Structure 1
Amino acid sequence: MDTEEFLLPRSRTANERLHAMIPGGAHTYAKGDDQYPEDLAPVISHGHGAHVWDIDGNRYVEYGSGLRSVSLGHAHPRVIEAVRRELDRGSNFVRPSIVEVEAAERFLATVPTAEMVKFAKNGSDATTAAVRLARAATGRPRVAICADHPFFSVDDWFIGTTPMSAGIPAATTELTVTFPYGDLAATEELLARYEDEVACLILEPATHAEPPPGYLQGLRELADRHGCVLVFDEMITGFRWSEAGAQGLYGVVPDLSTFGKALGNGFAVSALAGRRELMELGGLRHSGERVFLLSTTHGAETHSLAAAMAVQTTYIEEGITARLHALGERLAAGVREAAASMGVGDHIVVRGRASNLVFATLDEKGQPSQPYRTLFLRRLLAGGVLAPSFVVSSALSDADIDRTVHVVAQACAVYRKALDAADPTPWMAGRPVKPVFRPLA
């Protein structure tokens, strides 16, 4: 692709059609065309393995596949075959399918720190169910969320804390409080300030940095001491950290945990899992007040549960987590070397666990910059790399990684020119990309 003449006319037209019918032009804000350089938001035709093709006929090496959900690569044969076996058997019945039993047994064998599981279709339903269950179990109203983690749910208890809080009553938002990641003293102070009011602590157990030594265990002890429920959001860490998530890797058992994304390799499935004593409050085998935990028409759709079982089998039998780490380490080393060789090593910064890499684009003063991100993304796209992050899938080959590093090096050369000019505008060719959470469109 010629960088200067890289155009996406069919995608541009399709984006106009999308916006005419779909608010935001996408069904997930993180997939919106405002996240990409102006007129360079490709609309996808199809994908296979680590590659996707847009409707203009361009092929890309893809990272962050399906917002981290397609960790085995698109149309993975073991997953597709598992789904295909169910296609002629029906997908949804008036009573539970035997597939629900098999999927639950497989999940609890994979995540042995949990005692019961309930499946749903998206992560928000699972995290909100965890919050509801914690409130019911403790009789307390407040939810404490980790302030350093970007997303937990589309529901009011979380979205009310973001800059996109329109339509959410203040009374709801006031019941959500925040604590900083890695700071046990601040969390203990919060729990003391709202003594006997906090139902749960909810956080991603790890993100772009490893948890400080003893931190997760310290949270476990704080939750026990203050009588609140500890919830791990394992939407991202599930499978990418280990098959049993971060809780399996770090050896700290939460009361409840939520899984999604990689669980279905693109098929819609999520899970709420946890201690039997808590989970059974949403069941029928107790004498207490009933909790409306999760009740979704499509939560146990058989094709997605078959996909989830195939994903778990593939991860375990083929050592996928280790492969993700190896690919990520190769990519991170290559990008860092390319950036350093072009004199922008302090400005294009790769961060995170090898299986979950992101990058920061910093300006001449070392501050995060959307204009510089725009310049960088534009050059990657023109080079055939679709990379809102550097999150790898196991379908990537060494040649894909090497190709990516080559394109990054070319982008870094332009980045250096922009830094020298202290102005990326001439290389942006349009408005800057925008953050997802912002108060105005």
Structure 2
Amino acid sequence: MITGLIPNGVPKGLANTAFPFQYNRIDELKKIIEKHGKDLAAIVMEPVRSEQPVPGFLEEIRSLADKMGAVLIIDEVSAAFRTNVGGAHLDYNLVPDMAVFSKAIGNGYPIAAIIGKEDVMQSAQNTFISSTMWTERVGPVASLATIKKYKDLDAHKHLIAIGNAVQKGWKNQAQKNNIDLSVATGMAPLCHFSFNYPDMLDIKSYFIQLMVDRGFLASNLFYAMYAHKMEHVEKYLHAVGESFSIISKDIDSGKFKKNMRGRPSGAGFKRLS
């Protein structure tokens, strides 16, 4: 069970058909393999998200999949096209058996793509797959145009620069205002931070409120886009600094809950990566 993910509506027959393990915790995966190895069909995971892979982690994932004959499926739905023109797994010389793409590949248009090794992909010939949308062309055309634009603009380099600037700004403003903050070390264009306090969800909600008051619909997440310019980042970080200053003072005085409008946000589900 993944924390915060309620399985309402999931048939009981699907219980124990998926076994989660934390990113960078190869020991957790090995325990799963020891118990269920002969029955495991695939390892499904993101190549990177909140933290960088520790040395040898991805290599061992690949090795374990090969040893037990499981298909290694890399989820590139969020990670792809943010650090290169393609999947993030390319940055780590990881060769998956299958990779799944969506979101950025179409720049907002509905499109998804599954790519993989021939022997794995040919397995589809042994089953029946049908779709009402076989002849839909808008998504594929949008995807091809988007990928060409990525290449022409070197868009990923801009996303990395923007993400790095935001992460650096978060750290600077937290230090300046005496805020205990953790900034994710995974992908710069896909970054987030956490308040290190017992009332972290309440404080996050208060931060959202303060940022809205300053003209920014912003949470503790930041997804860099090509449209973002450094001047936008500067204005955003100025608002972050003002918000952090108020939060710091209100935490010390115990007033931040009294100053909140509305209910605090819920925890949501906790990602494995």
Residue 350 of structure 1: aligned partner? 183
Compare CA radii of gyration and give the structure with the larger one.
Answer: 1
Shift of 1:435: 3.0
Give per-residue Cα distances to partners, 1:226-251, cap 9 Å, x unaligned: 11111100111111132221221111
2: CA distance, partners of 1:368 / 1:313:
45
Contact 1:269–1:299, Cα closer than 8 Å, also in 2: no
Q: CA deviation at 1:361?
A: 2.5
Q: Aligned equivalents of 2:135 and 2:164: distance in 1?
A: 36
Q: How does 1:102-121 map to 2 (within 5 A)?
A: none
Q: 1:381 aligns with which of 202, 205, 212?
A: 212
Separation in structure 1 between the aligned mates of residue 143 and residue 161 of structure 2, nearest angstrom: 23
What is aligned with 2:49? 207
Deviation at 1:263, TM superposition (A): 0.7
Shift of 1:423: 5.0
Q: Is the 8 A contact 1:360 1:368 kept in 2?
A: no
Aligned to 2:120: 278
List aligned pairs for 1:90-129, cutoff 5 A: none
- Write out per-residue CA displacement over residues 400-420 of structure 1, whole angstroms, 9 at most, x where no aligned residue: 000001100110111112210
Q: Which amino acid aligns with 2:170?
A: V
Give the equivalent residue in structure 2 for 1:418. 250
Aligned residues: 268
Structure 2 match to 1:400: 232
Q: State the 1:422 CA deviation.
A: 3.6
Q: Distance between the aligned counterparts of 1:299 and 1:212, measured in 2? A: 41
The one-letter code matched in structure 1 to 2:71 is: V
Question: What is the one-letter code of the residue matched to 2:253?
Answer: A
Structure 2: runs of 5 or more not aligned: none
Q: In the alignment, what sits opposite 2:153? A: 318
Change in Cα spacing, 1:163 to 1:318, as seen in structure 2 (3 Å) is closer
1:205–1:246 CA contact under 8 A, matched in 2: yes
What one-letter code is carried by the residue in structure 1 that aligns with 2:32? L
Q: Percent identity?
A: 26
- CA offsets per residue over residues 367-410 of structure 1, 9 Å max, x none? 46211011000111111112231111111111100000110011
The AA in structure 1 aligned to 2:192 is: V
What letter matches 1:393 in structure 2? M
Query: Which residue is equivalent to 2:162?
Result: 327
Distance 1:341 1:177 in 2: 42
d(CA) in 1 for partners of 2:199 and 2:143? 37
State the Cα distance separating 1:183 from its structure 2 match. 2.4
**Equivalent position of 2:70 in the other structure:** 228
- 2:88 pairs, out of 230, 246, 251, with 246
- Give the aligned residue type for 1:425: K
Say whether the 8 Å CA contact 2:48–2:187 is kept in structure 1. Answer: no
Find out whether 1:360 has 2:189 as its counterpart.
no
C-alpha contact 2:211 2:240 (8 A) present in aligned 1: yes
The alpha-carbon deviation at position 259 of structure 1 amounts to 0.6
Contact 2:5–2:268 (8 Å) recurs in 1: no
How far does the alpha carbon of each residue in 1:109-138 deviate from its partner, in whole angstroms, 9 at most, with x for none?
xxxxxxxxxxxxxxxxxxxxxxxxxxxxxx
- Runs of 4+, deviation exceeding 4 Å: none
Structure 1 letter corresponding to 2:193: F
RMSD: 2.0
Tell me, yes or no, if structure 1 residue 433 matches structure 2 residue 268: no
Counterpart CA distance in 1 for 2:90 and 2:5 is: 34
TM-superposed CA distance for 1:299, in Å, is 5.6
Q: Secondary structure at the match of 2:34?
A: helix
Q: Tell whether the 8 Å contact from 2:4 to 2:268 is kept in structure 1 after alignment.
A: no
| TM norm structure 1 | 0.58
Q: Does residue 1:291 correspond to 2:111, yes or no? A: no
Length-normalised TM-score, structure 2: 0.91
- Aligned equivalent of 2:202, options 371, 389, 400: 371
Give the letter aligned to residue 220 of structure 1: R
Indicate yes or no: 2:176 matched with 1:341: yes
Structure 2: distance between partners of 1:195 and 1:399: 52
CA–CA distance in structure 2, aligned partners of residues 188 and 291 of structure 1: 31
Distance in 2 (CA, whole Å) between partners of 1:399 and 1:183 is 39
The structure 1 residue matched to 2:6, chosen from 161, 164, 171, is 164
Matching residue's letter, 1:371: D
Q: Which runs of 5+ in 1 are unaligned?
A: 1-146, 151-160, 284-289
2:222 alignment partner in structure 1: 390
After superposition, give the CA deviation of every residue in 1:35-91 in whole Å (9 maximum; x if it has no partner): xxxxxxxxxxxxxxxxxxxxxxxxxxxxxxxxxxxxxxxxxxxxxxxxxxxxxxxxx
Is structure 2 residue 30 aligned with structure 1 residue 188?
yes
